[in-house]
Amino acid sequence: MATNRTFTMIKPDAFADGNTGAILSMIEKAGFKLIAAKLTHLTAETAGKFYAVHSERPFYNDLCKYMSSGPIVAVILEKENAVADFRTLIGATNPANAEDGTIRKIFARSIEANAVHGSDSDENAAIEGSFFFSELERI
Ligand code: UDP
Ligand code: MG
Protein backbone atom coordinates (compact mmCIF):
# COMPACT_ATOMS: atom_id res chain seq x y z
CA MET A 1 0.00 0.00 0.00
CA ALA A 2 1.28 3.47 -0.83
CA THR A 3 2.34 5.69 2.06
CA ASN A 4 -0.28 8.31 1.19
CA ARG A 5 -2.98 6.01 2.55
CA THR A 6 -4.54 5.54 5.95
CA PHE A 7 -7.13 3.25 7.46
CA THR A 8 -10.26 4.09 9.45
CA MET A 9 -13.26 2.38 11.01
CA ILE A 10 -16.61 3.91 11.78
CA LYS A 11 -16.92 2.35 15.24
CA PRO A 12 -20.08 0.68 16.67
CA ASP A 13 -21.28 3.81 18.53
CA ALA A 14 -21.17 6.03 15.45
CA PHE A 15 -22.73 3.34 13.27
CA ALA A 16 -25.53 2.72 15.79
CA ASP A 17 -26.15 6.47 16.12
CA GLY A 18 -26.70 6.70 12.34
CA ASN A 19 -23.64 8.90 11.82
CA THR A 20 -21.84 6.81 9.18
CA GLY A 21 -22.95 8.98 6.27
CA ALA A 22 -22.21 12.26 8.03
CA ILE A 23 -18.73 11.07 9.04
CA LEU A 24 -17.88 9.77 5.56
CA SER A 25 -19.09 13.10 4.15
CA MET A 26 -16.74 15.01 6.49
CA ILE A 27 -13.90 12.72 5.43
CA GLU A 28 -14.56 13.30 1.72
CA LYS A 29 -14.95 17.06 2.20
CA ALA A 30 -11.54 17.06 3.92
CA GLY A 31 -10.04 15.75 0.66
CA PHE A 32 -9.75 12.01 1.33
CA LYS A 33 -10.59 9.57 -1.46
CA LEU A 34 -12.26 6.25 -0.60
CA ILE A 35 -10.13 3.33 -1.82
CA ALA A 36 -12.04 0.42 -0.23
CA ALA A 37 -15.03 0.22 2.13
CA LYS A 38 -16.75 -2.63 3.95
CA LEU A 39 -19.67 -2.92 6.38
CA THR A 40 -18.87 -5.78 8.76
CA HIS A 41 -19.18 -6.96 12.36
CA LEU A 42 -16.10 -7.89 14.39
CA THR A 43 -16.13 -10.69 16.94
CA ALA A 44 -14.34 -10.29 20.27
CA GLU A 45 -11.61 -12.49 18.77
CA THR A 46 -11.11 -10.48 15.58
CA ALA A 47 -11.28 -7.20 17.52
CA GLY A 48 -8.67 -8.65 19.86
CA LYS A 49 -6.39 -9.41 16.92
CA PHE A 50 -6.85 -5.94 15.44
CA TYR A 51 -5.98 -4.29 18.79
CA ALA A 52 -3.31 -6.85 19.80
CA VAL A 53 -0.82 -3.99 20.28
CA HIS A 54 -2.97 -2.88 23.26
CA SER A 55 -3.33 -6.35 24.82
CA GLU A 56 -1.44 -5.33 27.99
CA ARG A 57 -3.44 -2.13 28.50
CA PRO A 58 -6.15 -2.04 31.23
CA PHE A 59 -8.85 -1.05 28.71
CA TYR A 60 -8.15 -3.93 26.28
CA ASN A 61 -10.91 -6.37 27.29
CA ASP A 62 -13.58 -3.67 27.40
CA LEU A 63 -12.34 -2.32 24.06
CA CYS A 64 -12.67 -5.76 22.40
CA LYS A 65 -16.18 -6.15 23.85
CA TYR A 66 -17.19 -2.69 22.65
CA MET A 67 -15.68 -3.07 19.16
CA SER A 68 -17.63 -6.32 18.68
CA SER A 69 -20.91 -4.88 20.06
CA GLY A 70 -22.32 -3.91 16.64
CA PRO A 71 -21.52 -3.30 12.97
CA ILE A 72 -18.56 -1.20 11.89
CA VAL A 73 -17.49 0.25 8.53
CA ALA A 74 -13.84 -0.30 7.57
CA VAL A 75 -12.38 2.11 5.03
CA ILE A 76 -9.02 2.66 3.31
CA LEU A 77 -8.44 6.33 2.49
CA GLU A 78 -6.02 8.17 0.25
CA LYS A 79 -4.71 11.72 0.46
CA GLU A 80 -1.36 13.43 0.56
CA ASN A 81 -0.03 13.16 4.15
CA ALA A 82 -3.00 10.86 4.89
CA VAL A 83 -2.02 9.47 8.32
CA ALA A 84 -1.22 12.80 9.98
CA ASP A 85 -4.02 14.76 8.28
CA PHE A 86 -6.58 12.12 9.27
CA ARG A 87 -5.45 12.18 12.91
CA THR A 88 -5.96 15.95 12.84
CA LEU A 89 -9.44 15.51 11.32
CA ILE A 90 -10.58 13.00 13.98
CA GLY A 91 -9.11 14.77 17.04
CA ALA A 92 -7.84 13.44 20.37
CA THR A 93 -8.64 9.91 21.62
CA ASN A 94 -10.68 11.40 24.46
CA PRO A 95 -13.41 13.57 22.90
CA ALA A 96 -13.25 15.82 25.96
CA ASN A 97 -9.79 16.85 24.75
CA ALA A 98 -10.61 16.95 21.02
CA GLU A 99 -10.55 20.24 19.12
CA ASP A 100 -13.85 21.80 18.07
CA GLY A 101 -14.93 20.66 14.61
CA THR A 102 -13.13 17.31 14.79
CA ILE A 103 -15.03 14.09 14.14
CA ARG A 104 -14.57 12.81 17.67
CA LYS A 105 -15.59 16.14 19.20
CA ILE A 106 -18.80 16.12 17.16
CA PHE A 107 -19.75 12.42 17.25
CA ALA A 108 -17.93 10.49 20.03
CA ARG A 109 -19.78 9.32 23.13
CA SER A 110 -16.73 8.67 25.34
CA ILE A 111 -12.99 7.91 25.34
CA GLU A 112 -13.86 4.29 24.48
CA ALA A 113 -16.83 4.84 22.16
CA ASN A 114 -14.99 7.54 20.22
CA ALA A 115 -16.72 7.22 16.83
CA VAL A 116 -13.72 6.47 14.58
CA HIS A 117 -10.36 4.74 14.34
CA GLY A 118 -7.36 6.34 12.64
CA SER A 119 -4.02 4.63 11.92
CA ASP A 120 -1.03 6.09 13.76
CA SER A 121 1.68 5.43 11.12
CA ASP A 122 2.12 4.49 7.46
CA GLU A 123 3.25 1.04 8.54
CA ASN A 124 0.17 0.42 10.68
CA ALA A 125 -2.11 1.87 7.99
CA ALA A 126 -0.85 -0.82 5.61
CA ILE A 127 -1.17 -3.60 8.24
CA GLU A 128 -4.67 -2.49 9.28
CA GLY A 129 -5.89 -2.10 5.69
CA SER A 130 -4.66 -5.62 4.91
CA PHE A 131 -6.52 -6.93 7.97
CA PHE A 132 -9.85 -6.11 6.29
CA PHE A 133 -9.16 -6.02 2.55
CA SER A 134 -7.45 -8.30 0.06
CA GLU A 135 -5.37 -6.90 -2.80
CA LEU A 136 -8.33 -7.36 -5.16
CA GLU A 137 -10.68 -5.28 -3.02
CA ARG A 138 -8.51 -2.14 -3.15
CA ILE A 139 -8.71 0.37 -5.98
N1 UDP B 1 -9.32 3.48 24.55
C2 UDP B 1 -10.03 3.32 25.73
N3 UDP B 1 -9.52 3.86 26.88
C4 UDP B 1 -8.33 4.53 26.92
C5 UDP B 1 -7.62 4.67 25.73
C6 UDP B 1 -8.13 4.13 24.56
O7 UDP B 1 -11.11 2.73 25.74
O8 UDP B 1 -7.92 5.01 28.00
C9 UDP B 1 -9.85 2.88 23.31
C10 UDP B 1 -10.40 3.95 22.35
O11 UDP B 1 -11.52 3.39 21.66
C12 UDP B 1 -9.22 4.17 21.43
C13 UDP B 1 -8.66 2.74 21.30
O14 UDP B 1 -8.80 2.21 22.62
O15 UDP B 1 -9.61 4.73 20.20
C16 UDP B 1 -7.22 2.64 20.87
O17 UDP B 1 -6.43 3.44 21.74
P18 UDP B 1 -5.31 4.41 21.15
O19 UDP B 1 -4.46 4.87 22.31
O20 UDP B 1 -4.59 3.73 20.01
O21 UDP B 1 -6.14 5.67 20.64
P22 UDP B 1 -6.41 6.20 19.15
O23 UDP B 1 -5.18 5.91 18.33
O24 UDP B 1 -7.64 5.47 18.64
O25 UDP B 1 -6.66 7.68 19.29
MG1 MG C 1 -4.19 4.13 18.05
Q: Is the CB of residue 122 less than 8 Å from the CB of residue 83?
A: yes
Q: What is this structure's pTM? A: 0.97
Ligand 1 pocket mutation pick from 114, 119, 121, 128 by most atoms within 8 angstroms of CB: 114
Which residue has its alpha carbon closest to ligand 1 atom 2?
A: 112
Using a 10 angstrom Cβ sphere, with 0-12 exposed, 13-18 middle and 19 or more buried, the burial of residue 120 is middle
The CATH number of residue 70's host domain is 3.30.70.141
- Report the alpha-carbon distance of residue 83 to residue 95 in Å, rounded: 19
Q: How confident is the model at residue 1 (pLDDT cuts 50, 70, 90)?
A: very low
Q: How confident is the model at residue 45 (pLDDT cuts 50, 70, 90)?
A: very high
Nearest atom (ligand 1) to Cα of 114: 11
Count of domains in the chain?
Answer: 1
Domain span at 122: 5-137
pLDDT tens-digit readout, 82-118: 999 999 999 999 999 999 999 999 999 999 999 999 9
Q: Calculate the dihedral angle through the C-alpha atoms of 54, 55, 58, 64, rounding to the nearest 10 degrees.
A: 90
